[in-house]
Amino acid sequence: MRNCFFFFLFLSSLSSFSQINLAKETDYNDFMITTTLVVMDANPFSGFNQTLVNAVETFWKITPYEVISNKEFNAKKKNKNNSFIILSEASMEVKGKILQYNMLNLVLGGKAANLNEMPDLGSVPLSYIDTDNEEYLYKLGGVLQFMQFFVRYNLENPNTDIFKLVQKIEGKVGDKEIWLLPDEVANEVNTPEKLKKYYQGKVKFATKDQIEEAIVKKEAKVLFLHKIGSDENGSICWKFLIEAATGKAVYFSQDKVDKNNPPLFNDNDFKKLK
């Protein structure tokens, strides 16, 4: 059975975000002397495990790592010398509505009794729970790079959440090129001609294979979109623009989905970019 993880979004304002037991400054320092244990998913047929192992071998540079089984996690989670990368099912409450996600957790070992209580160093939602994993496996290496960037940033700038991080990073998009899947873009901006009305920077409509290759090659000029969306009314669409070379997030938004606001990268997102 997959581990469960809970996080909450309080919607007096969409930017008011809280996650259970966010890591403190000392936790990030402790993380740097751990061995990161990469936990295999209990479902051996998902395709996730081999993709994760390959991505860790290529991209995980911040700590030593080992691969363990899901069963070994419970035996090793209380060791403070361990940190963990583990897939979980996450729940988010939005005005009484429960939304469920696949979440890639980066957590610190220690005295905590379960995953919810372990210091969270920079977990990332991958998709809604009913989404085929092919929707995110191609960019898993980029997600791992973002996790490491987030940790390093917090070591230098303690107590920085994703909102503060994006606000503090100067330059935003700059001269980089945004690579987007055609089916992740709203109709009003789905061609170069339409885009000119909202954004003057460089944009490429790419394939999953092209984005995966750019992440593997750490293309310095490429930004890729990590979007987590559902067509369900009242759900939340999360959008990250991440540098393929470094994992740095240069844009983040979360928008409520309804019939007039589908879960897509849209004209309002382009208007916000510098």
Task: For residues 98 and 19, state if they share a domain.
Answer: yes
Structure-token pair, residue 82: 């361990």
CA distances from 10 to 82, 125, 232, 264 (A): 32, 17, 18, 22
Structure-token pair, residue 30: 């402790």
* 163 in a structural domain: no
* 130 in a structural domain: yes
**What pLDDT score was predicted for residue 18?**
39
* Domain region containing 101: 3-156
Which pLDDT band holds residue 45 (cuts at 50, 70, 90)? Answer: low
Q: Which residue has the tokens 């290529």?
A: 58
Q: How far is CA 194 from the centre of its chain?
A: 29
Digit-coded pLDDT (tens) for 187-197: 999 999 999 99
Q: Is the predicted pLDDT of residue 39 greater than 70, yes or no?
A: yes
Task: For residues 64 and 139, state if they share a domain.
Answer: yes
Digit-coded pLDDT (tens) for 204-236: 999 999 999 999 999 999 999 999 999 999 999
Of 32-36, 132-136, 148-152, 270-274, the one with minimum mean pLDDT is 270-274
* 233 in a structural domain: yes
**What pLDDT score was predicted for residue 156?**
94
* 258 in a structural domain: yes
State how beta strands 65-68 and 35-39 pair.
Answer: parallel
Please name the residues in contact with 174: beta carbons below 8 A apart, sequence gap of 6 or more.
274
* 127 in a structural domain: yes
Which pLDDT band holds residue 20 (cuts at 50, 70, 90)? Answer: low
Task: For residues 145 and 180, state if they share a domain.
Answer: no
- Residue type present at position 94: V
Candidates 66, 103, 97; CA nearest to 84 is 66
State how beta strands 177-180 and 222-228 pair.
Answer: parallel
Task: For residues 93 and 212, state if they share a domain.
Answer: no
How far apart CA 115 and CA 4 sit, in angstroms, is 7
Q: Which residue has the tokens 């990161």?
A: 36
Triad 224, 228, 232: Cα angle to 5°:
145
CA distances from 241 to 36, 51, 130, 208, 253 (A): 26, 22, 23, 15, 9
Triad 167, 125, 105: Cα angle to 5°:
100
Instruction: Please give the model's pTM, rounded to 2 decimal places.
Output: 0.91
Which pLDDT band holds residue 13 (cuts at 50, 70, 90)? Answer: very low
Using the 3D structure, point to which of 99, 131, 156 is the last residue of a domain.
156
How far apart CA 67 and CA 89 sit, in angstroms, is 20
Find the helix or strand (DSSP H, E) in which 99 lies.
Answer: strand 97-108
* 161 in a structural domain: no
Task: For residues 19 and 98, state if they share a domain.
Answer: yes
Task: For residues 214 and 121, state if they share a domain.
Answer: no
Using the 3D structure, point to which of 99, 132, 156 is the last residue of a domain.
156
CA atoms within 13 A on the CB side of 136: 26
* 164 in a structural domain: no
| Contact in structure between 206 and 221 (CB atoms under 8 Å) | no
Digit-coded pLDDT (tens) for 127-157: 999 899 999 999 999 999 999 999 999 999 9
Strands (E) in the chain, as ranges, are 3-9, 17-19, 35-39, 65-68, 82-94, 97-108, 124-128, 177-180, 202-205, 222-228, 236-243, 249-256
**What pLDDT score was predicted for residue 1?**
46
**What pLDDT score was predicted for residue 264?**
97
For the chain, the domain total comes to 2
**What pLDDT score was predicted for residue 162?**
79
Task: For residues 136 and 174, state if they share a domain.
Answer: no
Using the 3D structure, point to which of 105, 133, 156 is the last residue of a domain.
156
Task: For residues 146 and 200, state if they share a domain.
Answer: no
* 173 in a structural domain: yes
70-86 mean pLDDT: 95
Q: Which residue has the tokens 């919810």?
A: 116
Question: Of residues 18 and 91, which shows the higher confidence score?
Answer: 91
